[in-house]
Structure 1
Amino acid sequence: MAPLQRTAPPRNGQVLSAKVQGLNTQILPNCFQAALSSKTAVRRNTDRQGVLWAPFTGLLSPQIRRRRLARLAGGSSSQPSTPLTSPQRETPPGPPGAAPAPGPSHSLGLNVHSMTPATSPIGASGVAHRSQSSEGVSSLSSSPSNSLETQSQSLSRSQSMDIDSVSCEKSMSQVDVDSGIENMEVDENDRREKRSLTDKEPLSGSEVSEEQALQLVCKIFRVSWKDRDRDVIFLNSLSAQFKQNPKEVFSDFKDLIGQILMEVLMMSTQARDENPFASLTATSQPIAAAARSPDRSLMLNMGSNPGSSPMFCNVGSFGSSSLSSVGGSGSSSVSDSCSDHFTIENCKETEMLNYLIECFDRVGIEERKAPKMCSQPTVSQLLSNIRSQCISHAALVLQGSLTQPRSLQQQSLLVPYMLCRNLPFGFIQELVRTTYQDEEVFKQIFIPILQGLAVASKECSLDSDNFKYPLMALCELCEIKFGKTHPMCSLVVSLPLWLPKSLSPGAGRELQRLSYLGAFFSLSVFAEDDNKVVEKYFSGPAITLENTRVVSQSLQHYLELARQELFKILHSILMNGDTREAALSYMAAVVNANMKKAQMQTDDRLVSTDGFMLNFLWVLQQLSTKIKLETVDPMYIFHPRCRIELPTDETRVKATMEEVAAWIAELYRDPSLFSEPKFPTECFFLTLHAHHLSILPSCRRYIRRLRAIRELNRTVEDLKNNESQWKDSPLATRHREMLKRCKTQLKKLVRCKACADAGLLDENFLRRCLNFYGMVIQLMLRILDPAYPNIKLPLTPEVPKVFASLPEFYVEDVAEFLFFIVQYAPQVLYEPCTQDIVMFLVVMLCNQNYIRNPYLVAKLVEVMFMTNPAVQPRTQKFFEMIENHPLSTKLLVPSLMKFYTDVEHTGATSEFYDKFTIRYHISTIFKSLWQNIAHHGTFMEEFNSGKQFVRYINMLINDTTFLLDESLESLKRIHEVQEEMKNKEQWDLLPRDQQQARQSQLAQDERVSRSYLALATETVDMFHILTKQVQKPFLRPELGPRLAAMLNFNLQQLCGPKCRDLKVENPEKYGFEPKKLLDQLTDIYLQLDCARFAKAIADDQRSYSKELFEEVISKMRKAGIKSTIAIEKFKLLAEKVEEIVAKNARAEIDYSDAPDEFRDPLMDTLMTDPVRLPSGTIMDRSIILRHLLNSSTDPFNRQTLTENMLEPVPELKEQIQAWMRDKQNDH
């Protein structure tokens, strides 16, 4: 065999052009000049040392042109005078360990005299070749051609992907075929300078003969120049040349390969209606499936037979059936999964491309069939040349150089092959390697491919596995690497739609819809993003829990596959030095364009979808996995080159907007304070903000949907339960329509929730989020105390400016996410980062002064409340980690007690109602901490310390008074309406609007009573626990009388004359347990039983009466609420109180005529211990102290006021006492 010799490339900038069938071919760049047109070629002078380029000498004579035209047309009368030639290309690396290609002295010679047409390897009937070809195709169809395991070995013998040092001229195929049409005239003697086969050196010590090598070429290309047969393509031109002068047919095998390929391709271009590949029916399989005749588009079915090569979609012949319409002759048919297909044009280019791809694939088949023979340098070089020539000619076809130029807007012919995964392994890689150094050609070939993949991705959905094919194709393109260069990554970011400019207020949705990667990131399982998923998986008549679980797992697996490919794509772009900046700009653009997504009320039309943002978040999480916090700069968010555009009004953790602006201005005066932003820092903060804009809004939407489902369920149940009342009324039709509408909406919401379960409640995904928030917490703890993890509490009084200036949502998002997973996925809570999360909660709750917003502290309290075993049993271990943390045992209880009182005033308009929920959470936490020995001592210390605990008790009294009063009043209203509705005759007499008003009020009262009774029960429980352990603080002058009055009033509600008004249907529905409430209230009386408390009870003239206590004793005995001993103790207390009442009556003196200067200005009562306020006002000490328990302000000017600021007025006190003595003496 002739050695693979290198041909000198044409000079830089040289351009060749020609005409074929009257069509001007496009101008090709240097690397394809030789392969250009089947129409233009350069004559080459050859000698024994190599093949050299020769200058153009002129046009061919008319006689030569006519003969070549006739030859290409398949005419047999003309005698070709010039064979088709092909310039050489550099040989790709051989197999590992292979010997270098032998020099000319060891070339594989071909003796033309011994290979006349009669003795050609094709033979008379082509039987021998068919046999071998059949074997090759059989091998191809039984082993996947794109399998890495089966092909990587064979491909490595002929090509290497990581080659970046080879220039375009060295690495590109240079196919030079002389068609004789308008070619440059050359010296006729050049033909005689071609090496005759007899001049070639015979094979020396090789096991591959010349005949075998030629037979191998014919077998791979499925051609013959001897006989016509349906299994091969008959080459008229070569046949005529062999008949005329076999010695001058070709100079070497590269020349022969070029002539074969160009003649075959020209046969396709010149054929009008018939398919020149139709003869390949016996042993070949089609690369493409059946075509649709109406629009002449070829269908490529993605669902290939597992037993066949993935290169083939449907069974059928390569030549005819693969390019014929459905229903035509042949065995091709569209499979049952015909909906899963992609289309390609049915055109000449498709025929040529099919042929080239199969030839490329047959090289790999031969390498697998005969690895020993193919590993020989000469054979390996031959096969490598076949591959490279197939790639070069494929590039010409893809550009339309052999037919007509293709527009960049046209779909690439390769896209369906890539989507169907039926390209031979290495085909695309070799195509990239061959073209990427010529920018014009590279763009002309691969921009349509990229556009086609994006279009295909937009049409895909998770309702089938079609979605993965565009992703896998793009991923493979982006991962192609030569040295440190990723050519496709550079091309992707150069596209105009890589990062389009925003043209409307909806920048987020624009970026998703218009950017190149937007289509790939848009895969979603959420019903609002893609209704195909809900229609396919959750539209059955009954959605069982088990079915939903199985489907959710499948969808989560699909999403995981898609996201892995997305990560590979973006990672490849980031790893490529030339495109890293573009990738970071895109990541920042997604974050900045979706800032509005974090708002409570968002117009979804202006921002990216939840599915898009969660996919984007998953990719960023993967990029951040290996980031070390030591490499993250906490000052980045304030950096002048920060990519994240924070709104100017963004709330900060502690600092005000003015303080932040002043501090940043001070920082900017010294640029040395900022270091150059590095990738770990930028990636970390982009990921943090991506969480804020993706997972948190999705969680809020999920919770809102659950709330809507509960409300609809309640409405449906109410309509059903009350059907007997409205079915015969004039509004019956309206109610039925409403019931039907609610059921339809409820069904829709349940399906949407099922989709959201699959997209949001993915345990693996939630764990990634939790672990990342663990990193965020570590960063904030390092800012708070550089000694982390050896933090000591309390922290320094001065808040670090970096922490104070951080966006508030850095802390809030941690709380919200923890709250969500504790409720809906508590099993993911236990990760290595859990210790840091516990420490962060403890540190923040014990240093509330580090947070300006009280509602943010309330969220942290709510997280702790939700982890309480009494609320969520599955988080008991987490709660125990909090209560047993070394930092919590001394400071957690006092801090929570202080917050219990501080939350009285939050500054919000809803502060009065908000405080009840917050205090309910704290009370529940206290009940659990009280059971922990480590905290029991802290409680006792706080009980005995004084003022902080006194304020806490005062708030308990206030809340219990209000909550019990409101809940019992609502029960009375419920009782009233229920009694009215029981009397059907009178109820029907009421006007319809009045009935509706009463029913509406009933629903409102039921909601209020449920809520308030739950809160009231908790506060009474807390009273019950505290009064059992400590009594002294409850007996203070400012507290004792108020506590006694509150207890007396509620006893009167439960046991007084109007107690029957509290009797309602299904009291457990509202959480009303009158027996338990009475038991707890009387227990508090007994636990505080002493002379001082008895006097406080007797002094209450509003609710106390002897008859009330007697009725209480009677009900306790009748209901068996207490033991006999406890009842007797309560009876003794009642007797003591009655004695004090009688004594007070005998000693009662009227002080109503006291002078004004002796009266308290606030309560208008006689002062007993007057004190002067800083404002100069004089008040009674007990009254001002009671006020200070609620608010630390002067009641007259709202200035700050504390107990130590009160100044006694002994002179006035003495005057008051003297006046009182005079009154007593007069009495």
Structure 2
Amino acid sequence: MFASNGEYCVLATNLSQLYDLRGKTSQESSKFEEVVSENLDLKPRFLSNYLVGDEDNGNIFNNKPDSVLKESVLEAYLMKLSLCKGRGDIRDGTIGEEIRTFYGTTFTESLTSTVEYDVCRTIFDDFTKLSGTWGNDFVDHGTKEIVNFCRFVVIEVFSGIFVHHISPLPLNFMKLSDAMIYIFHEKKVSDEKQLRDWIDFVSANVSEDYLKGLFKPIFMKLRTLAIDAKCYRHINFTNMKCMNKDLRWLPLILLTRLIILGAETKSRFNLVDVLCSMENFKIKFLGNSNHGYYECMASYLGPFFSLGIFENGDTERSPELKKMFGDVGIERVEKNDVFTQIRNSYDEIRENLKCLTQVLVCKPSTRKATTRFLVDAIGANYCRGKLQYSRKDNMGSSFTTNLVYVVVYLAAKVKLERLDYNYLAKKQCAFDLKDLTRINMNESAIPQYCETIEEGEEVTFNSLIFYIALFAIHIGYAGLINDYNTTKREYEYLKKDLNKHRAAFDKHRGSGIVSGDLVTTYMSYKLMEEQSSVVKYTLVLQMTLLHDLNINKVIYSLMDKWGMYLLNMIHPDAKLNHIPAQPNDMFKNLPEFMVDDLLATFQLLTTSEKLASSSLVFVQRLMSVLSVSPQYFRAPFTYAKLLEVIVQCWSKASSSVSQQYYQQILMSPGVCNKITPVLIKYYCDVESTGADTEFYDKFNIRRCIHFIFERFRESSSQKGMLVTAMNGQSNEIQRFANIVISDVSYLFDEVVGGMKKAVKLEKEIAAETANSNEADSSSRRLQFEEVKRGVSTWIYTLAESLDLLKKLTEYAHKIFLDQLIGEQLAALMNYNLTELSPPNHVHFESPTLVKELNFEGRNLVTKIITVYNCLSMADVFSKYVAADERSFTPEKFAVILKGLKEQMNFNGAIHEKFSAFVKNASVHYALKIEDEDFGEEIPEEFIDPIMGNIMLDPVLLPTSGQICDRKTIITSLLTVQKDPFNRQELTSDQLVPQDELRVKVENWICEMRAAKAAKLVADQEME
């Protein structure tokens, strides 16, 4: 058995023969007790009685013990063990029951009263006494040899019992594992040196097979305990204190300690190898991507990585959370003592997992198996990287965040100069990338690119652990951030609705009348309370796992290496001052999430967790490069995400250092002279993204650009570049101005139209309620709430878009004097000023809605008049205003001017300047009426099919065959470059002039004007 030490191979005895000889125990064998006693004087007698050979030769083992001695010693020790009956220690029994409190019936009841415990305790205590004597420097050499010989006897007997199940007593071998776990735990706490000596001796002297046989059952029992651990029992809900801290994570803590002690031995094959030789150490895939939970939990380390306060992490444990936090508000949860306990518990779990994994990857013989487990654990949970996945079939966030902490801690020490940057394109890549969207490479181009990459040597641990960390963050951290943001928004909406239901219930209850309405409002309130409660505790769970400073610090330590890695993938000089027009192919081939997750993680760490962004210089440089390079990405949303993160972090930056950090992203050398044209182009291009939600997404993206332009106004250089760009004559600037106007027009329709409808519904509901017409009132209330949601959704976006338009007309008005753009702007301003000003302003008066929806009609009117006044110095804009046949007449605007002064208190320079502008527009209106009165008999072929006016410059649309006025179709193409009749791609240079039709229109207009002039002369002569 003791293959590593040849001198003791003689002890490989067939123990079953000795058990049959127990009745013939020799008189001398009973004296084995003397060897394990504290009486050192008795040990020489043991030597003289049992050793055969020359006692004066100085080394008693030069001649090996004969079979009589061998059998006598083993027989004597077996006889001693046969007298074990069970100790029944009350104190130990209490601790055993506490273990059962955590791990249920999986652990033996009243363990210390069992024979199995007595046997194991006797063996361990005897070995400890022998080791203490052997290590005593005052004991002579001969006695030490005897004692060491007896240590082998003890371990051989123990191995025979534990491995071969040969025992002098009938034993339950499952209880033996419990007994050893209990003893190991006790020694780890009270005297770790004894445990260290045991492991060191066994690892150094026992063969590989026997070492596996001794410890595999113990390791398997620890795994069973980890599975059965009822995690929420670890918090005592009555006094808000953790129960016995030493037992909270017993399976993991003990396993970690055993492995660490095993690694410290000098043996080539030790407990680390035993652990990796477990049959289920590797994850076995079931051939279905939706079996991640079962695959991971069937592995050996899976249950340990899944340890946490919440079962499977994502499982909603509302009953336990309710006991923990009760009615504590979300804003106060993180200050709660239980929240701190939970964080501390996860810190303890992750620290042990980190130590365990670090030992496993540091040993060359176990490194490959361990990294394979980490890779497979990610592969089994790939679904967690998607927006929608089956939570019950995948590991929860406790597992994934624990995994993230461990691998990121290891990856933070990686040296990038030793990294294999082509690894993800190699055939030996351990990750499945086939379903992952790449940054800017089509599926058809990926195989061709991968063929150009040489395989080279086997990937190093340095490279592999870095990629493992990025993939782990994707499935376990970035996904949790998305879930948290979604749940947070949902909870905010539910909380608003809950407050409304509560107000309705309180209103009926306050009347003092018990009615059907009281019961209905109460039931609605309780139903909403229950719904919001589930979402609240889900949010608390996500906060617990996500807002953990220790795990966030570990990820933070990797962030700058992550940023440098991506810069190197773009171009080797990108981290300096070079911004290539196109990135390297290896950057295009990267999974899209590698940029998305970096941005999401950066935003969380620098805003919610308040970690300093100023030290992340390579992340800053990466965002600078990407901010002027939207062409790097195939999907426009990645660039949109970049802008959103910059804006969100910039707006929340509290210190001047942080403010400067974000300012330098967009205003650093090499970026500041490119950023304005890039943002203007992207503002236009995002009109169409291809997504189902593109209509709403574009407003969110443009709001970010509004914020950036507002910050540019604070910088003289950036403001000058914006002015220069806006005063240019390019088609891009025309598109930009047209889209700004179109956005404001849509938002005005939604907000102003919605507000008018809401006020009307409010009055109708009040009238129906007064007339006790509850059926109609209920239907209108639903409509009323929907309309209010529409107004509240868009009102802030309108304010921001209108501010942008106002500022553009203020310092870059040239583009708005172009006929196409100017006529659109004039029509927009005229219509909405008419809607909001007296006498129509009464349609927006409400005792509650104005404040509830934050609708400020007078403020909107002020901004509209400011736009008029900014362009009033240009006479041509007065013509555009007068040309608006829908909304402008001198009489109508005279009433508006009077109402603004008398009813809305507009006075001073702003009113005077606007009055002068209206007078000038009225003059142009009179001239226009005289010049364009062609009567009603206009030939049909002259009429524009879109706007219904005369086509002064007709053009053919080759994609649909329709003929339109050039001005009309150009206006449409400035928004979306598609044929409005069949939605095919169409650009302005494809339009075909219809000169023959244009000449006919011009001749007809000349004829009409000549006829009108002749009629006027004839009328004058008759007078």
Decide: shared fold, TM above 0.5.
Answer: yes
Mapped contact 2:79–2:168 kept (Cα < 8 A): no
Aligned to 1:754: 540
Aligned to 1:130: none
1:499 partnered with 2:282 = yes
Matches within 5 A, 1:177-192: none
User: C-alpha distance in 1, partners of 2:75/2:17?
Assistant: 15
Question: Aligned-pair distance for 1:1042?
Answer: 1.1
Aligned to 2:257: 476
Aligned to 2:763: 979
Find 2:347's aligned residue among 552, 555, 560.
Answer: 560
User: C-alpha distance in 1, partners of 2:806/2:734?
Assistant: 16
User: C-alpha distance in 2, partners of 1:338/1:606?
Assistant: 26
Aligned partner of residue 276 in structure 2, secondary structure: helix
Mapped contact 1:269–1:403 kept (Cα < 8 A): yes
1:652 to 1:1049, Cα distance in 2 relative to 1, 3 A: same
User: C-alpha distance in 1, partners of 2:64/2:424?
Assistant: 69
Aligned partner of residue 788 in structure 1, secondary structure: coil
1:425 partnered with 2:193 = yes
Q: After superposition, what is the alpha-carbon deviation per residue over 1:216-237, rounded to whole angstroms, capped at 9, x for unaligned?
A: xxxxxxxxxxxxxxxxxxxxxx
Mapped contact 2:281–2:300 kept (Cα < 8 A): yes
Mapped contact 1:591–1:690 kept (Cα < 8 A): yes
Mapped contact 1:771–1:831 kept (Cα < 8 A): no
1:415 partnered with 2:181 = yes
Mapped contact 1:621–1:772 kept (Cα < 8 A): yes
Mapped contact 2:677–2:725 kept (Cα < 8 A): yes
1:441 partnered with 2:210 = yes
1:942 to 1:912, Cα distance in 2 relative to 1, 3 A: same
1:1121 to 1:19, Cα distance in 2 relative to 1, 3 A: farther
Aligned residue type for 1:414:
M
Q: After superposition, what is the alpha-carbon deviation per residue over 1:288-329, rounded to whole angstroms, capped at 9, x for unaligned?
A: 84449xxxxx927679xxxxxxxxxxxxxxxxxxxxxxxxxx
1:1042 partnered with 2:824 = yes
1:299 partnered with 2:297 = no
Aligned partner of residue 1039 in structure 1, secondary structure: helix
1:747 to 1:1145, Cα distance in 2 relative to 1, 3 A: closer
User: C-alpha distance in 2, partners of 1:496/1:858?
Assistant: 48
1:509 partnered with 2:509 = no
Aligned to 1:1137: 921
Aligned to 1:571: 358
User: C-alpha distance in 1, partners of 2:765/2:170?
Assistant: 84
Question: Aligned-pair distance for 1:469?
Answer: 2.7
Matches within 5 A, 1:599-678: 599-646=386-433, 648-664=434-450, 666-667=451-452, 672=454, 674-678=456-460
Aligned residue type for 1:1113:
L
Aligned residue type for 2:860:
L
1:366 to 1:552, Cα distance in 2 relative to 1, 3 A: farther
User: C-alpha distance in 1, partners of 2:822/2:43?
Assistant: 122
User: C-alpha distance in 2, partners of 1:346/1:809?
Assistant: 57
Aligned residue type for 2:688:
H
1:1006 partnered with 2:771 = no
Mapped contact 2:871–2:877 kept (Cα < 8 A): yes
Mapped contact 2:426–2:454 kept (Cα < 8 A): no
Aligned partner of residue 657 in structure 1, secondary structure: coil
Q: After superposition, what is the alpha-carbon deviation per residue over 1:1097-1150, rounded to whole angstroms, capped at 9, x for unaligned?
A: 111111113344334333443467655122111111111112222223334430
1:706 to 1:411, Cα distance in 2 relative to 1, 3 A: farther
Aligned partner of residue 869 in structure 1, secondary structure: helix
Larger deviation, residues 688-697 vs 1194-1203: 1194-1203
State the aligned residue count: 968
1:870 to 1:569, Cα distance in 2 relative to 1, 3 A: closer
Find 1:266's aligned residue among 79, 103, 112.
Answer: 79
TM superposition score normalised by structure 1: 0.72
User: C-alpha distance in 2, partners of 1:912/1:746?
Assistant: 29
1:801 to 1:263, Cα distance in 2 relative to 1, 3 A: same
1:781 to 1:8, Cα distance in 2 relative to 1, 3 A: closer
Question: Aligned-pair distance for 1:792?
Answer: 2.3
Aligned residue type for 2:374:
M
Aligned partner of residue 566 in structure 2, secondary structure: helix
Find 1:1106's aligned residue among 890, 894, 897.
Answer: 890
User: C-alpha distance in 1, partners of 2:16/2:999?
Assistant: 124
1:1057 to 1:870, Cα distance in 2 relative to 1, 3 A: farther
1:720 to 1:383, Cα distance in 2 relative to 1, 3 A: same
Question: Aligned-pair distance for 1:585?
Answer: 1.9
Aligned residue type for 1:474:
L
TM superposition score normalised by structure 2: 0.85
Mapped contact 1:846–1:891 kept (Cα < 8 A): yes
Aligned to 2:1015: none
Aligned to 1:709: 491
Mapped contact 1:822–1:866 kept (Cα < 8 A): no
1:255 to 1:930, Cα distance in 2 relative to 1, 3 A: farther
User: C-alpha distance in 1, partners of 2:666/2:944?
Assistant: 46
Determine which structure has more spread, i.e. the larger CA radius of gyration.
1
User: C-alpha distance in 2, partners of 1:445/1:363?
Assistant: 20
Q: After superposition, what is the alpha-carbon deviation per residue over 1:880-919, rounded to whole angstroms, capped at 9, x for unaligned?
A: 2323322431122211111111111112233223222222
1:894 partnered with 2:677 = yes
Q: Percent identity?
A: 21
Mapped contact 2:32–2:77 kept (Cα < 8 A): no
Question: Aligned-pair distance for 1:7?
Answer: 9.4
User: C-alpha distance in 2, partners of 1:531/1:1145?
Assistant: 74
Question: Aligned-pair distance for 1:981?
Answer: 3.2
Aligned to 2:1016: none
User: C-alpha distance in 1, partners of 2:64/2:568?
Assistant: 75
1:411 to 1:192, Cα distance in 2 relative to 1, 3 A: closer
Aligned to 2:1017: none
Q: After superposition, what is the alpha-carbon deviation per residue over 1:36-78, rounded to whole angstroms, capped at 9, x for unaligned?
A: xx86xxxxxxxxxxxxxxxxxxxxxxxxxx7x44x6xxxxxxx
User: C-alpha distance in 1, partners of 2:68/2:376?
Assistant: 53
Matches within 5 A, 1:236-275: 263=76, 266-270=79-83
Aligned to 1:938: 721
Q: After superposition, what is the alpha-carbon deviation per residue over 1:488-509, rounded to whole angstroms, capped at 9, x for unaligned?
A: 2222222222225344744211
Matches within 5 A, 1:1167-1186: 1167-1170=951-954, 1179-1186=964-971
Aligned residue type for 1:598:
G
User: C-alpha distance in 1, partners of 2:789/2:591?
Assistant: 36
Matches within 5 A, 1:351-390: 351-362=118-129, 373=138, 390=154
Aligned to 1:1015: 797
1:881 to 1:1198, Cα distance in 2 relative to 1, 3 A: same
Q: After superposition, what is the alpha-carbon deviation per residue over 1:437-463, rounded to whole angstroms, capped at 9, x for unaligned?
A: 423422332111101211222343353
Mapped contact 1:7–1:87 kept (Cα < 8 A): no
Mapped contact 1:432–1:442 kept (Cα < 8 A): no
User: C-alpha distance in 1, partners of 2:51/2:977?
Assistant: 111
User: C-alpha distance in 1, partners of 2:922/2:599?
Assistant: 53
User: C-alpha distance in 1, partners of 2:57/2:691?
Assistant: 98
Larger deviation, residues 1052-1061 vs 1186-1195: 1186-1195
Aligned partner of residue 111 in structure 2, secondary structure: strand
Aligned to 1:455: 224
Matches within 5 A, 1:88-127: none
1:1143 to 1:431, Cα distance in 2 relative to 1, 3 A: closer
Find 1:16's aligned residue among 3, 14, 17.
Answer: 14
1:448 to 1:1133, Cα distance in 2 relative to 1, 3 A: same
Mapped contact 1:525–1:756 kept (Cα < 8 A): no
1:1084 to 1:535, Cα distance in 2 relative to 1, 3 A: closer
Aligned residue type for 1:495:
M
User: C-alpha distance in 2, partners of 1:1149/1:886?
Assistant: 58
Mapped contact 1:457–1:467 kept (Cα < 8 A): no
Aligned residue type for 2:208:
E
1:817 partnered with 2:601 = yes
User: C-alpha distance in 2, partners of 1:776/1:593?
Assistant: 24
1:973 to 1:1219, Cα distance in 2 relative to 1, 3 A: closer
User: C-alpha distance in 1, partners of 2:319/2:335?
Assistant: 13
Gaps of 5+ in 1: 1-5, 23-37, 40-65, 72-79, 90-107, 116-175, 178-189, 204-249, 279-285, 293-297, 304-333
Q: After superposition, what is the alpha-carbon deviation per residue over 1:1046-1097, rounded to whole angstroms, capped at 9, x for unaligned?
A: 0010011101543212123241322311111111111111110021111111
Aligned partner of residue 890 in structure 1, secondary structure: coil
Looking at secondary structure, tell me which structure has more helix per residue: 2
